[in-house]
Amino acid sequence: QQKIPTGSKEPALGKTKSKGLTCLGPDFVYGTVATIQDGGVSEALSNWRTHSLPTSGSRGHSRRPEKDFVALNREGVKSGLVTAKEHYQYRATHDRRRAAFARRGSHVPVPPRIPPDTTFGISTQPSTPICELLEHKYAQHWLEEQQAKERALEERQLNMPKLGRIQETRTTLLRKSRPMPESTPLWKLPRFQQVGPALDTFRDPYARKKAFSAHFSDSVARTGQLGQGTYTVG
C-alpha cells in the first residue's frame, strides 16, 4: 500500500477533498486600480469640482488603435500583390492603424459644463400658514369657489336661448290620440237578430228617460275604489 505524504494536497483514502482555496498572501492587494485623479480631502473640502479625465498614460488610453486591414489590403493591391500569401506577408511587414474615434456614432466623452453657482438637490417646501389652518380659511375658500361656480352655471342657463311653443301637427295629434276600441256585438242566430225585448218594465218612453237620468245623476256615489263614491274632505 502506497503512503500519501503529509504535505500533499491529494485527499486521503475514504475522505473528500477540501473545497477551500488558499490565500494569496498578506501582501496581495484585491480590487482594481483607480484611474480617477483627485486632489484628496483638501480639494473636496475647498470646492466641488468634477473628476478630471484619465491622462494619456493611464490604463484607459494605453491601448493602441486597431489595425486597418482594409487600408492595408488596398495598398497591397496598388503595389501589385495578387495571392493571399503575398497579402499576408505585406500585412506582416507594414503597419497601418485606424484613426481614433473614426467609427460612426463614437464621440469623445466630455465632462458636463456646470455653472459654479449651481445648487444641487430639491427645493424645500414653503412653510405652511398656521394662521389660515386655525381660522379654517381653506374651507372658506372652497365654499367661495363652489358658490362662484353655481352662479356661473345659473347665468349660463339664463342666457341660453329659449325655444318657442311648437305648433301641433296632424302627426303629433295622431300620436297622442288613441283610437277607441270597437265593441263587437255578441253573435246571435239570424232568426233572433230582429227580435225585440221580451220584457219592458217602463210604462212609456218618458218614464224610461227619467229613470236613466236619475241613475246617471246618482252615479257619483257609486264610483271609487270601494264603490262608495268619490269625496273631497275639506
Contacts of 91 (CB under 8 A, 6+ apart): 69, 72, 73, 76
Residue 69 DSSP class: H
First and final C-alpha spacing in the chain: 132
> In which element (H, E) is residue 85 found?
helix 84-93
* Domains in the chain: boundaries: 133-157
Give residue 142's pLDDT: 92
Q: How confident is the model at residue 2 (pLDDT cuts 50, 70, 90)?
A: very low
Cell of 153: 352655471
Instruction: Collect contacts of 33-40 with beta carbons under 8 A, ≥24 apart.
Output: 33/59, 35/59, 35/60
Render pLDDT for 149-184 as a digit per residue (tens, 0 to 9). Answer: 999 999 988 888 777 777 788 888 888 877 777 888
Q: How confident is the model at residue 207 (pLDDT cuts 50, 70, 90)?
A: very high
What is this structure's pTM?
Answer: 0.22
Q: What is the mean pLDDT of the chain?
A: 77
- Alpha-carbon Rg for the chain in angstroms: 57
Most confident of 93-102, 196-205, 222-231: 196-205
Amino acid of residue 161 = P
Q: How confident is the model at residue 11 (pLDDT cuts 50, 70, 90)?
A: low
Q: Which residue has the cell 237620468?
A: 213
| Cα 212 from Cα 229, distance rounded (Å) | 19
Give residue 232's pLDDT: 60
Render pLDDT for 42-88 as a digit per residue (tens, 0 to 9). Answer: 666 666 555 555 554 555 455 778 889 999 999 989 988 889 999 88
The answer to whether 90 and 76 are in contact (CB under 8 A) is yes
Give residue 184's pLDDT: 83
| Cα 231 from Cα 234, distance rounded (Å) | 9
Cell of 202: 217602463
| Cα 65 from Cα 98, distance rounded (Å) | 6
The answer to whether 4 and 12 are in contact (CB under 8 A) is yes
Question: What's the mean pLDDT in 222-232?
Answer: 66
Question: What's the mean pLDDT in 139-147?
Answer: 92
Closest by Cα among 63, 66, 86 to 75? 86
